[in-house]
Structure 1
Amino acid sequence: MIDNFLSTPIEDSGGYESQLSDLGLRWEYLEQTLRMSEQARRASKTKDDAKNAPGSQDYFTRVRELRYTLRTELQWEPYDPLQAPLIVNPDKTVGIGVLLGDARTGLPGRPHPRSKRPAGVTKERAVARNQDLQLPFEEPEFASPAMGQEELDEYSQMETWYLLTSRHEARRTGVVTVRSELSLPDHVGKGGKIDRYQRRILLPDIEFEKVNHYAVETTGDHQVSVEER
């Protein structure tokens, strides 16, 4: 693993550290998540693993590590609307999920990155709420709450951000670069993919050593070469 990383130009003024601070976050929390997910991907690429295991373990680890870190460091709480996992701040004004982006992820300017897969109903609702929260406030006329409405109202002022990631492996050197951004989507476009954001906090690139084809597994006093990738 290469510990030094390159800073990506920022989309908004103020630098990524101050922008994250505005949300009550620090880069090190997100960096830890991305490093752990890459480690999980590599550990799941043995000849006995299913072909989709690396990508699946990468996703599961991003979800788990992001939620664990923010829960233990900042007392944020997990929230799972229709199995679309988020981690939410104590005020329930900011929620964060994970999302796989395309090659534009982490790069400034337009076009904005698109999600690799269709957003699905839950994310589309979150994007719609992000749009509504930008409209001028009007005092609603509340009637008696309908059954099941209590939980919805509890999160009614929550913006939903996503930690977008995109992974690139250099053909010549084999070095892996993970680009990322923490962004607030406001549009679902063609094919149901998120393709526009109100805000984009572009984060530093992280570089990792090339993926080796064999690892050394220690068994007792012996070292055995194990095909890993």
Structure 2
Amino acid sequence: MVSNILIEPSGKPTGYEAQLAALGLQWEHFETTLRVSEQARRSGKTKDDAKNAPGSQDYFTRVRELRRALRTELGWHPYDPLQAPLVVNPDKTIGIGVLLGDARAGLRGIPHPRSKRPAGVTKEQAIARNQELQLPFSEPEFAALDGAQSDDDEYARMETWYLLTYRYEARKSGAVTVRSELSLPDRVGPGGKIDSFQRRILLPPVEFESVRDYAVETTGDIVVSVEER
């Protein structure tokens, strides 16, 4: 249903860089965000911090750095509907948030990845709007994310995308890899988790040197941080 390949009129396939460019974006915006947030995870824990401090630092830094990059370089702006932070383009047609996924994130094919945690009301409303915007001649009819009526909502034509990530540490080497994709969700499945996407732009994996200074739990051949948000 979803492919990471688009076809130009000439018949030539295009990859993630062309797909990002069609949205007015570049891979460097996301790569820098992931690298800075991993650095925050590694440097943000002391013996007095809570056990989930590294994951929290990672998440908050990801939000901040993505917003900073798109705001300063492209003129996008922060938008916070009911504590679900987004960064939105000047036309208010594309919003991007950050979201953790399962081990399918960043991998081609079916099944699609699932969000690590339930979506919550705000994300469910955004996904419902994504669905409606795909219908011919549609006008969103539900309440706006900020509580206003949809006909007064300046964000009524905004698609909500997510930078979906999955982070893992190899058991033997300790090397860390973050897989990611910029994806447009279209369904909330069982347990309230997002499990289907209209479009998925699979991004290159970002690799980091080994780190062993935070608690982990083992699952098969992969060691997964228990502190990921």
Give the TM-score taking structure 2 as reference length. Answer: 0.83
Paired residues of 1:16 and 1:202 also in contact (CA < 8 A): yes
Indicate if the aligned counterparts of 1:12 and 1:200 stay in contact, CA closer than 8 A: no
Percent identity over the alignment is: 75
Q: Which segment drifts farther, 40-49 or 83-92?
A: 40-49
Correspondence for 1:85: 85
Cα gap change, 1:139/1:36 in structure 2, threshold over 3 Å: closer, same or farther?
closer
**Cα distance in 1, alignment partners of residues 93 and 140 from structure 2:** 18
Question: Which deviations, in whole Å up to 9, do the C-alpha atoms of 1:74-110 show, x marking residues without a partner?
Answer: 0001000001000000000000000000000000001
Query: Where has structure 1 moved over 4 Å in runs of 4 or more?
Result: 138-141
1:11 equivalent in alignment to 2:4? yes
Deviations along 1:1-60, whole A, 9 cap, x unmatched?
xxxxxxxxx722310000000000000011010001100111123322210101111100
| Structure 1 unaligned blocks of 5 or more | 1-9, 142-146, 215-229
In structure 1, the partner of 2:172 is 172
Matched with 2:181 is: 181
Residue 83 of structure 1 aligns with an amino acid whose one-letter code is Q
Query: Quick one: structure 1 residues 152 and 183, their matched pair in 2 at CA, closer, same or farther if it must change by over 3 Å?
Result: farther
- 1:95 alignment partner, SS class: strand
Q: CA RMSD in A?
A: 2.0
What is aligned with 2:69? 69
Count of residue correspondences: 200
Task: Report the AA paired with residue 117 of structure 1.
Answer: R
Is the partner of 1:196 in helix, strand or coil? strand
* Residue equivalent to 2:21: 21
1:49 maps to a residue whose letter is D
Deviation at 1:191, TM superposition (A): 0.3
Q: Is the 8 A contact 2:37 2:58 kept in 1?
A: yes
